[in-house]
Amino acid sequence: MTPLLELDDLRASFPGPDGPVEVLRGVTMSVAAGEKVALVGESGSGKSVTARAVLRLDRDASLSGRVLLDGKDVLGLSERAMRDVRGARIGLVFQDPLASLNPVMTIGWQIMQPLLIRGVKKKEARRRGVELLGRLGVRDADRRFDDYPHQFSGGMRQRVVIAIAVIAEPALLIADEPTTALDVRVQAQVLTLLRELAAERSMSVLLITHDLGIVAGFADRVVVMRHGAPVEQGVVDDIYARPQHPYTRGLLASVPRIDDDPSRRLSTVDEAALEGEVR
């Protein structure tokens, strides 16, 4: 069976003052249909660039390698053909739910937009939008449909953003740190919603996060990235129980635990020890 999304030696570089800067150095990973994969790593490890490269969002990036969606390489597609991939095949949820909503349009207009630009009639689009918003736990969805983003709380906004990303029923949802801007209780609600949505629609999810705590309860598999390339990937339970790579071990050790000795210093990733091994 071909995986839904397959990255094969994906490389990305951006123009810099001293020539191109290589940000992705050969990412090879895959997401199967219906599978939930977590992409973890520290800031600057290339998680977000990987997600953006899949949708070809960075115009100044030069990409090489292959990004296979259902076996077809999207790197060769025209900008026009990419528009049918974006939103309809792959949905993307950004980190900051307020910044990713247009402040002068009603949330209903924004939820319906992916349908309207694909020729769905307004009445039908509204019916589906209201239904989805209600499903995502927004009370009074029909009335709130005509409200503006600033009238929603942070958690509600993230539900709106998720509704926008999944209304056109993409096969894959990429969530780029969807819970980082939310408080812990709302984080759990949003993750539960994502899990339920994925199950109901047999939708794959690629969850990008630096929070190892939320990965264990959510993903089937995990890919650990560092310096623009995966260092380790596998089933979540295996990685947590038996991390093979020293960087993964360092990351896991640096998550504070509730049963830690309070007098113990927090553990950090030992960069010096890693340098010899990774470079």
Burial class from Cβ neighbours inside 10 Å (0-12, 13-18, 19+) for residue 16 reads exposed
Q: Is 104 among the residues that bind other proteins (CB under 8 A)? A: yes
For the record, the structure tokens of 104 come out as 């002068």
Do residues 256 and 266 touch, judged by C-beta distance below 8 A?
A: yes
Do residues 51 and 206 touch, judged by C-beta distance below 8 A?
A: yes
DSSP annotation string for 116-136: HTTT--HHHHHHHHHHHHHHT
Q: How many residues does the structure list for the chain? A: 279
Q: Is 129 among the residues that bind other proteins (CB under 8 A)? A: no
Q: Is 94 among the residues that bind other proteins (CB under 8 A)? A: yes
User: In terms of Cα–Cα distance, which of 183, 186, 129, 191 is closest to 160?
Assistant: 129
Q: Which is nearer to other proteins, 86 or 126 (CB)?
A: 86
Interface mask toward other proteins for 35-74; x: CB under 8 A: --------------------x-x-----------------
Q: Which is nearer to other proteins, 165 or 225 (CB)?
A: 165
Q: Is 114 among the residues that bind other proteins (CB under 8 A)? A: yes
Q: Is 88 among the residues that bind other proteins (CB under 8 A)? A: yes
Q: Match 């998720």 to its residue by tokens.
A: 162
Q: Is 120 among the residues that bind other proteins (CB under 8 A)? A: no
Q: Is 241 among the residues that bind other proteins (CB under 8 A)? A: no
Identify the three-state secondary structure at position 65.
strand
Report the residue from 12, 23, 39, 85 that binds other proteins according to the rule CB under 8 A: 85
Q: Which is nearer to other proteins, 87 or 228 (CB)?
A: 87
Region of 91-99, 133-141, 235-243, 263-271 interacting with other proteins (CB under 8 A): 91-99
Region of 7-15, 36-44, 90-98, 201-209 interacting with other proteins (CB under 8 A): 90-98
Q: Which is nearer to other proteins, 6 or 176 (CB)?
A: 176
For the record, the structure tokens of 63 come out as 């990409």
Phi, psi of 210, rounded to the nearest 5 degrees: -110, 5
Burial class from Cβ neighbours inside 10 Å (0-12, 13-18, 19+) for residue 186 reads middle
Return the half-sphere exposure (C-beta side, CA atoms, 13 A cut-off) of residue 150: 3
Interface mask toward other proteins for 151-190; x: CB under 8 A: x---------x--xx--x----------------------
- Judged by the rule CB under 8 A, the positions of this chain that interact with other proteins are 55, 57, 82-88, 91-92, 94, 96, 99-105, 113-114, 117-118, 148, 150-151, 161, 164-165, 168
